[in-house]
């Protein structure tokens, strides 16, 4: 009996299977290595693409930052231009709401950007029912308005004349975004136009006045001479003597009117020199006081001058004519007597002006009369010419100054002259 064990057949099969497994494992490893290699290559490609995209993204970001910086620069540049313009500019959207309002527009209207932006045009600039005097017209019709005029009521209630133009606002594709209105305050222009017209009128009036003065003064001289002869021949108690005196007074008044007319219409030729305005005012005031007691005995003149000199370029003779006229007006405003205060003051802070004030405690002047006070030939006095204040204003303005009035009926009046240093 053979005692050795027989090896089962499947043992050989296991050996063959192990070889197969090893081969399969080797194949799997090769496949894994190849797959890993492919993934690594794919990852590397993705990494390269990611790096490339990062570079491109950074370039795009840089371009975008540069574009935004350029846009901000252009925007700031345009805003600086708008803010530095002397004329007002506003922009409307398609609904008529204000989207832009520059600094000059604030100054002209008296309103700030915060009070304006977002509001409808008519709330700020006034109603335009006919839609023909504003940027609203341009929005409706698409037509620009050139060199138009209208009135604007400012925030402080004052009405001023405006010159304005409008145009459409479009994008680069020609699409309408809104409308723009550019405007200017014409107050100074109107004043200069009136001044030029007044100068033309004065020139014509001056020619006429010279002729009239010649034609009137000759017969007036004859009338005055005959009146004096007649008065000399009349007895002191003759009732006719009073009538002759009336003739003499009338001739004197006509002579004053002719002289005032010539003075008003004659072109001013200033002979200015530097003078202490305190001395100029005091010299005229002292001269006025010589005759004051006889004509207006109940009127006292009070003075207030600064301690330091106030030098101004003035034509002393003509400027003292102004002072005498204002002193006379002040005393005539106080028929029952009172005090007339003459003040000379220096402007405060950055104000380079010198002020001269004539304040009375008289009857005062009604508001309606104040509006006409500097109108030629307007007077409330029986023997007035209506040219005293007008001539005074003309002389003051020729010196580069201004004259203003503050008055209240029953309390008195105060005329103020402002002269540049």
Together in a domain, 317 and 408 = yes
Q: Angle CA(217)–CA(222)–CA(227) in degrees, nearest 5?
A: 120
pLDDT value, residue 297: 66
Together in a domain, 168 and 191 = no
Together in a domain, 48 and 160 = no
Domain that holds residue 72: 16-84
Together in a domain, 158 and 239 = no
Together in a domain, 333 and 403 = yes
Report pTM: 0.49
Q: Which of 267, 283, 316 is the last residue of a domain?
A: 267
Together in a domain, 176 and 193 = no
Question: Which whole number is the average pLDDT over 282-310?
Answer: 86
Report whether 103 contacts 87 (CB < 8 A). no
pLDDT class of 296 with cuts at 50, 70, 90? low
Residues 217, 212: Cα–Cα separation, whole Å: 8
pLDDT class of 42 with cuts at 50, 70, 90? confident
pLDDT value, residue 290: 83
Q: Is residue 23 one of the residues assigned to a domain? A: yes
Would you say residue 145 has pLDDT above 80?
yes
Residues 282, 228: Cα–Cα separation, whole Å: 37
At residue 270, φ and ψ (nearest 5 deg) are -75, 135
pLDDT value, residue 374: 82
Domains held by the chain: number: 4
Structure tokens at 297: 């005995």
Q: Is residue 8 one of the residues assigned to a domain? A: no
Together in a domain, 242 and 281 = no
- Segment 378-411, tens digit of pLDDT: 777 766 667 788 888 989 988 989 999 999 888 8
- Segment 310-335, tens digit of pLDDT: 999 999 988 998 999 999 989 988 88
Q: Is residue 7 one of the residues assigned to a domain? A: no
Helix (H, G, I), strand (E, B) or coil at 412: strand
Structure tokens at 32: 């894994």
Q: Which of 223, 244, 267 is the last residue of a domain?
A: 267
CA dihedral 221, 222, 223, 224 (to 10 degrees): 50
Question: Which whole number is the average pLDDT over 221-241?
Answer: 80
pLDDT value, residue 206: 65
Q: What is the CATH number of the domain that holds 362?
A: 3.30.565.10
At residue 133, φ and ψ (nearest 5 deg) are -135, 35
pLDDT value, residue 14: 47
Between 137 and 266, whose confidence is greater?
Answer: 137
Structure tokens at 69: 């910086």
Q: What is the CATH number of the domain that holds 210?
A: 1.10.287
Together in a domain, 294 and 392 = yes
pLDDT value, residue 109: 92
Q: Distances in Å between the alpha carbon of 356 and those of 176, 278, 322?
A: 58, 9, 11
Question: Which whole number is the average pLDDT over 9-30?
Answer: 63
Q: Is residue 71 one of the residues assigned to a domain? A: yes
Q: Is residue 1 one of the residues assigned to a domain? A: no
Rg (C-alpha) for the chain, rounded Å, is 47
Question: Which whole number is the average pLDDT over 306-312?
Answer: 90
Residues 418, 421: Cα–Cα separation, whole Å: 10
Q: What is the CATH number of the domain that holds 99?
A: 3.30.450.20
Q: Is residue 4 one of the residues assigned to a domain? A: no
Q: Is residue 156 one of the residues assigned to a domain? A: yes
What is the percent of the chain where pLDDT is above 90?
26
Q: Is residue 325 one of the residues assigned to a domain? A: yes
Cβ within 8 Å of residue 360, ≥6 positions away: 330, 331, 333, 334, 338, 339, 340, 341, 412, 413, 414
Together in a domain, 411 and 300 = yes
Together in a domain, 324 and 404 = yes
- Segment 80-104, tens digit of pLDDT: 777 777 889 999 999 999 999 999 9
Strands 98-101 and 148-153: unpaired
Q: Which of 248, 267, 286 is the last residue of a domain?
A: 267
Residues 149, 132: Cα–Cα separation, whole Å: 11
Count CB neighbours of 172 within 10 A: 5
pLDDT value, residue 12: 44
Q: What is the mean pLDDT of the chain?
A: 82
Between 23 and 63, whose confidence is greater?
Answer: 63
Together in a domain, 179 and 211 = no
Question: Which whole number is the average pLDDT over 207-211?
Answer: 69
Together in a domain, 280 and 362 = yes
């Amino acid at each position: 009996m053979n005692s050795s064990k027989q090896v089962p057949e499947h043992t050989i099969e296991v050996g063959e299977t192990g070889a197969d497994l090893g081969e399969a494992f080797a194949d799997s490893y090769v496949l894994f290595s190849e797959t890993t290699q492919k993934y690594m290559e794919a990852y590397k490609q993705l990494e390269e693409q990611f790096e490339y995209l990062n570079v491109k993204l950074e370039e795009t970001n840089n371009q975008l930052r540069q574009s935004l910086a350029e846009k901000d620069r252009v925007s700031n540049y345009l805003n600086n231009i708008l803010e530095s313009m002397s004329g007002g500019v506003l922009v409307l959207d398609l609904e008529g709401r204000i989207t832009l309002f520059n600094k000059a527009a604030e100054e002209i209207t008296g309103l700030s950007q915060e009070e304006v932006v977002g509001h409808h045009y008519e709330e700020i600039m006034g109603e335009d029912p006919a839609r023909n005097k504003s940027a609203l017209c341009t929005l409706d019709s698409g037509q620009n308005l050139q060199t138009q005029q209208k009135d604007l009521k400012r925030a402080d209630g004052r009405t001023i004349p405006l010159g304005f133009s409008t145009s459409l606002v479009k994008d680069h594709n020609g699409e309408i975004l809104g409308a723009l209105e550019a405007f200017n305050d014409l107050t100074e222009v109107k004043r200069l136009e009136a001044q030029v017209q007044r100068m033309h009128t004065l020139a014509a009036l001056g020619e006429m006045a010279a002729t009239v003065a010649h034609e009137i003064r000759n017969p007036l001289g004859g009338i005055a001479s005959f009146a004096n002869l007649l008065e000399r021949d009349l007895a002191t108690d003759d009732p006719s003597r009073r009538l002759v005196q009336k003739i003499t007074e009338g001739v004197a008044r006509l002579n004053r009117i002719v002289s005032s007319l010539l003075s008003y219409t004659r072109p001013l030729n200033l002979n200015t020199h530097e003078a202490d305005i305190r001395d100029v005012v005091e010299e005229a005031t002292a001269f006025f006081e010589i005759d004051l007691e006889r004509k207006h005995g109940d009127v006292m003149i009070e003075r207030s001058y600064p301690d330091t000199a106030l030098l101004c370029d003035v034509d002393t003779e003509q400027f003292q004519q102004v002072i005498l006229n204002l002193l006379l007006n002040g005393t005539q405003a106080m028929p029952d007597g009172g005090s007339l205060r003459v003040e000379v003051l220096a402007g405060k802070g950055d104000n380079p002006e010198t002020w001269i004030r004539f304040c009375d405690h008289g009857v005062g002047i009604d508001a309606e009369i104040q509006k006409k006070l500097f109108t030629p030939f307007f007077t409330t006095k029986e023997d007035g010419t209506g040219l005293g204040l007008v001539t005074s204003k003309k002389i003051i303005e020729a010196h580069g100054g201004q004259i203003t009035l503050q008055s209240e009926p029953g309390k008195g009046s105060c005329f103020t002259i402002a002269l540049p240093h």
